[in-house]
Structure 1
Amino acid sequence: MADTQQVDPKAERKAARLAQQISGFATAHGGAEGQVAYLGQRGARIVLVGGDGDWGDVFAPSVEIAEKAVEKAGITVHENFDGEFAAKVRTGPYEWSRMAGIQVGGPSNG
């Protein structure tokens, strides 16, 4: 039986553009790993952690497009953002002041 699943050309183009962004991040940061997080109707967030510990994210309109993008980019994808994967993130003074501010009277979160 023939495969009758339709491919949405707009979704394919979006996944390809996201894959280029992910690949660019990986090139700039000595490789990359990621995690796809479902955001409800807003789509999905792809959290990226570079080999150097820098991190960033990109957003996709759906989990399906996010998954295609990370597959096209060829990065390792984790189920959760915890454990060894989370420990790879390097945080700087800005992140620490923001986290402390939320907890103990530092800079506001808004």
Structure 2
Amino acid sequence: MADTQQVDEAAVPDAKAERRAARLAKEIGAFAAKHGGAEGQVAHLGRKGARIVLVGEDGNWGDLVAPTYEVARKAVEKAGITVHEQFDGEFAAKVRTGPYEWSRMAGIQLGGPANP
């Protein structure tokens, strides 16, 4: 008789999620290399997944969107960056913003362009 083994589907790694996490980790690594290192924060976006906010050592920032929170956590782990639980305090103070961001944040209140 042939031996059969039942496979627990939850235990089988999701290859698509692993590939997505690896691609995101590569993008995070490229951002970090370009900006002298990076730190990040992962935030839930509801059904849309999770947002990875990156802040470079030079103050530049960017973000990436992952399909799930778990994929985002795997990506930052693979990239080896410091991950903050909240976007506040010293971490937020590292962000360097320019005139564009200030005008978009201010919107019509301070004479900036209106938000569409």
Count of aligned residue pairs for this structure pair? 107
Moved over 3 A (4+): none
Partner residue of 1:75? 81
SS of the equivalent of 2:113 reads coil
In structure 2, list runs of 5 or more residues that go unmatched.
1-7
CA distance in 2: counterparts of 1:40 and 1:102, whole angstroms: 29
Partner of 1:7: 13
Q: Which residue of 1 aligns with 2:47?
A: 41
TM-score (norm 2): 0.89
Q: Secondary structure at the match of 1:34?
A: strand
Give the secondary structure class of the aligned counterpart of 1:6.
Answer: coil
Unpaired runs of at least 5, structure 1: none
Q: How does 1:79-94 map to 2 (within 5 A)?
A: 79-94=85-100
- Greater C-alpha Rg: 2
Aligned partner of residue 16 in structure 2, secondary structure = helix
TM-score normalised by structure 1 residue count: 0.93
User: What is the alpha-carbon root mean square deviation over aligned residues?
Assistant: 1.0
Cα offset, 1:71, TM superposition:
0.2
* Superposed counterparts of 1:92-107, under 5 Å: 92-107=98-113
Query: Percent of counterpart pairs with the same letter?
Result: 75
SS in 2 for 1:95: helix
Write out aligned runs for 1:55-70 (5 A).
55-70=61-76
Give the C-alpha shift of residue 102 in structure 1.
4.7
